[in-house]
Amino acid sequence: MVLVRPAKTNDVKAIRALVDSYAAPGQMLSKETVTLYESVQEFIVAEVDGVVVGCGALHILWEDLAEVRTMAVKKELNRQGVGHKILEAIIKRAGEVGVEKLFCLTFQTEFFGAHGFEVIEGTPVNPTVYAELLRSYDAGVAEFLDLESVKPNTLGNTRMLKKLA
């Protein structure tokens, strides 16, 4: 049985291992351990028999906009519904905090598409919000805005968006 719950600080080592398992072959950007601790409150984890087997994070970008980040599941559990449970929990949490649009940058377009995410071009925010977002130092914001400075990090990834009802 898979239990999905908010992450705790003592889950960061497991999250680190999951991220590393995908970052090494270039399927995910690596994150510094300190960054994982700083953002632990954004994470949802999935565990089986007390062992963390998956993770994902909800990162708020603006009043009505957030990013799904750092989605990873132990490779031996891929295609067994663990990722779907994590993403469903993230989508639910996004709605609870007032998010109307969820962004992701992914190679897994079929997975996110099954949850209502659609491929986007351009930046679906008004010019005033765009100008405010340009002030952020967050790489995820730069990826959302499709800025040239992050193109080397996003090569091959697809930008997707889901509008929440």
CATH of the domain at 141: 3.40.630.30
Strands 65-73, 101-106: pairing is parallel
pTM of the predicted model as reported, rounded to 2 decimal places: 0.86
**What is the per-residue pLDDT across 147-159, written as a single tens digit (0 to 9) for each?**
565 555 555 678 8
Which residue range(s) make up the domain with 78?
Answer: 2-163
**What is the per-residue pLDDT across 69-94, written as a single tens digit (0 to 9) for each?**
999 999 998 888 999 999 999 999 99
The total domain count for the chain is 1
Of the pLDDT bands very low, low, confident and very high (cuts 50, 70, 90), residue 144 is: low
H or E stretch at 121: none
Whole-number Å distance between alpha carbons of 128 and 118: 24
Q: Is 128 helix (H, G, I), strand (E, B) or coil?
A: helix
